[in-house]
Amino acid sequence: MTADTGRWIRNFVDGRFVDPDERSSFTKVDPATGAVHARVHEADEPLVDRAVAAARRALDDGWARTPVRERAALLRRAADRIEERFEEFVAAEIADTGKPVTQARELDVARAVANFRTFADVVAAAGQESFLTDLAGGRQALNYAVRKPLGVVAVIVPWNLPLLLLTWKIAPALACGNAVVVKPSEETPSTATLLAEVLAEAGLPAGVYNVVHGFGGGSAGEYVTSHPGIDGVTFTGSSATGSHVMKTVAPRVRPVSFELGGKNAAVVFDDVDIDEALDGLTRSVFTNTGQVCLCTERVYVQRSVFDEIAGGLVERARGLRLGRPLDEATTTGPLISQTHRDKVLHYFDLAEQAGAEVITGGGVPRLGEGLDGGSWIEPTLWTGLTNSDRVVREEIFGPVAALIPFDTEAEAISLANDTDYGLAASVWTNDLRRGHRVAQSMNVGMAWVNTWFLRDLRSPFGGVGLSGIGREGGESSLHFYTEPTNVCVQL
């Protein structure tokens, strides 16, 4: 059993890779060069039916009743196997995304390992709710909640951090005794497929982890989310698609967990340590070429340090090194596709029409060395925009930010909260009290002070408004991936 990341990327159903069908396939392009690197077998509706049926069978055959310690041990073995095959995962992620090798190693694949280990620990330590209820006449009742697996869970994931986001969902799902049908992004099919091998090697029973490849509407994504055999959907991706998936599952009233888009603000006060703030802001705007839902696209800077922060960020943006993913000096990869680059370039036009000053970037770089067929874009910063401009209101998902001055703390809070999204924010200040105060007043799921994307995987993660529904992470994940049955015993 092997998953070819060379020519064919295959579906994995009921513990086996499915023979590909030439008539139902699509090509996968390397975004760094524009060259085709694989052909992907697109799952049709009957294959999705088979995947859902296999998942149900696996639950009924005993996976749902496996003791927690066995499931935790399996997750630990999966983490060990990813470590053993670490460079294969790194190579597969790079082939699909063009991301720099240092990032693939230090963020994407390292987090996959951490996701499995964390949820092995979290599930092993989890307790259950219980209450002693006082009754009239001195008697009591004991209430306790037994948590059972949600069932067959549809896992729909995007292309920006493919393995990280997939394992962030399936580690807790499997820890809780669920079976999953995974639909990776059509842009990034490789690592989910490779993971099928690793999970089988770790001893996961056939049918518990299934992968179906394809697109969204009219393809595998819709077949999975609209399938009557699905008991819940966990989705990370755009707010528009999240809303669509919600409508799809509404008639059957299935639970959803959505991590959606962001239009995240950074608020920089004039008491800040400028160099530290600049390092943090550079990471928050440009990591993964701006393709992280948490990335900052709005930077509000107190007026007295505005020019210094703007100048420093420009210098750092110009210092980023775009180039071959396997070159360890490369800091910044391409966008995921030409289609996505067209979208980002459209926002470049909108910024210009709104009267923005482009203080760095604003175009498509010429890199030579066979890279000009890739979907590269320049790290770009704007000034001269306001909160009413589309560029400042809509998620762009590229290496871009608008820098906007403010005068008072109250104004900064109001500007940062003036958005339909509500995922993340960062506050940069050396005033401890102000840091807490402003962070707590952000209408977001996650607010960082003097840092960004610093993760403790036990803490709740998710957004409000257009940024999502529910939280994952630690016990929040256990709650989504289980259903409680409360038992009340009169004593």
Ligand X SMILES: NC(=O)C1=CN([C@@H]2O[C@H](COP(=O)(O)OP(=O)(O)OC[C@H]3O[C@@H](n4cnc5c(N)ncnc54)[C@H](O)[C@@H]3O)[C@@H](O)[C@H]2O)C=CC1
Ligand Y SMILES: O=C(O)/C=C/C=C(\O)C(=O)O
Q: Which residues bind ligand X (CB under 6 A)?
A: 156-160, 183, 185-186, 215-217, 221-222, 225, 236-238, 241, 244-245, 260-261, 293, 340, 343, 395, 397
Of 165 and 305, CB closest to ligand Y: 165
C-alpha–C-alpha distance, residues 45 and 360, integer Å: 47
Q: Quick one: DSSP state of residue 122? A: H
The C-alpha angle 308, 310, 313, rounded to 5 degrees, equals: 105
φ/ψ of 36, rounded to 5, equals -70, 130
Site membership for ligand Y, residue 293 (CB under 6 A): yes
CA separation for the pair 222, 245 (Å, rounded): 8
Between residues 64 and 192, which has the closer beta carbon with respect to ligand X?
A: 192
Candidates 49-57, 63-71, 190-198, 291-299; binding stretch for ligand Y (CB under 6 A): 291-299
User: By C-beta, is 120 or 265 nearer to ligand X?
Assistant: 265
Can you say how many angstroms the Cα of residue 211 is from the centroid of all Cα atoms in its chain?
18
- The Cα–Cα gap between 112 and 417 comes to 32
- In terms of C-beta density within 10 A (0-12 exposed, 13-18 middle, 19 or more buried), how is residue 219 classed? buried
Question: Which residue from 455, 458, 460, 483 is in contact with ligand Y, where contact means CB under 6 A?
Answer: 455
- Shortest separation between residue 217's beta carbon and ligand X, angstroms: 4
Comparing CB distances to ligand Y, the nearer of 156 and 402 is 156
Site string for ligand Y, 249-278 (x = CB under 6 A): ----------x-------------------
| Residue from the set 452, 461, 480, 481 that interacts with ligand Y by CB under 6 A | 461
Least distance from ligand X to the Cβ atom of residue 236, Å: 5
Residue 192 CA to residue 43 CA, distance in Å, equals 14
18-26, 189-197, 208-216, 288-296 -> range binding ligand Y (CB under 6 A): 288-296
Pick one of 72, 294, 412, 427: the residue that binds ligand Y (CB under 6 A).
Answer: 294
Instruction: Write down the least CB distance from residue 48 to ligand X, Å.
Output: 11
Of 225, 259, 268, whose CA–CA distance to 245 is shortest? 225
Q: Confirm whether 259 is a catalytic residue.
A: yes
Edge-to-edge strand list for the sheet holding 380-383 = 357-360, 380-383, 400-406, 296-302, 264-268, 424-428, 446-449
DSSP letter for each residue of 269-301: -TTS-HHHHHHHHHHHHHGGGG-STT-EEEEEE
In three-state secondary structure terms, 78 is: helix
In the complex, the smallest distance separating the C-beta of residue 462 from ligand Y, rounded to whole angstroms, is: 9
Q: Which is nearer to ligand X, 378 or 395 (CB)?
A: 395
143 or 243: CB nearest ligand X: 243
- Contact between 210 and 54 under an 8 Å Cβ cutoff? The reply is yes
From the list ligand X, ligand Y, none, partner contacted by residue 455 (C-beta under 5 to 8 A by kind): ligand Y
Cα–Cα nearest to 74, from 164, 179, 171, 180: 171
Q: Choose from ligand X, ligand Y, none: what does 294 bind? Cβ within 5-8 Å by kind.
A: ligand Y
Picked from ligand X, ligand Y, none, the partner binding residue 215 (CB below 5 to 8 A depending on kind) is: ligand X
Least separation in angstroms between CB 224 and ligand X: 7
**161 near ligand Y, judged by CB under 6 A:** yes
When binding is defined by CB under 6 A, the residue of 25, 33, 103, 160 that contacts ligand Y is 160
Contact between 236 and ligand Y by CB under 6 A: the answer reads yes
Strand pairing class (209-211; 400-406) = unpaired
The binder of 437, among ligand Y, ligand X, none, by C-beta within 5 to 8 A per type, is none
**Residue 470: what are its φ and ψ, rounded to 5°?**
85, 175
Closest approach of ligand Y to the CB of residue 99, in Å: 13
Pairing relation of β-strands 209-211 and 16-17?
Answer: unpaired
Query: What is the helix (H) or strand (E) element at residue 81, kind and residue range?
Result: helix 68-84
Catalytic residue among 88, 259, 395, 472: 259
What does the DSSP 8-state code read for residue 107? I
Q: Give the residue, chosen from 109, 182, 292, 427, that forms a contact with ligand Y under the rule CB under 6 A.
A: 292
Q: Identify which of residues 167 and 302 has a Cβ nearer to ligand X in the complex.
A: 167
The binding site for ligand Y (CB under 6 A) comprises: 160-161, 165, 168, 236, 259, 292-294, 455, 461
- Catalytic residue numbers read 259
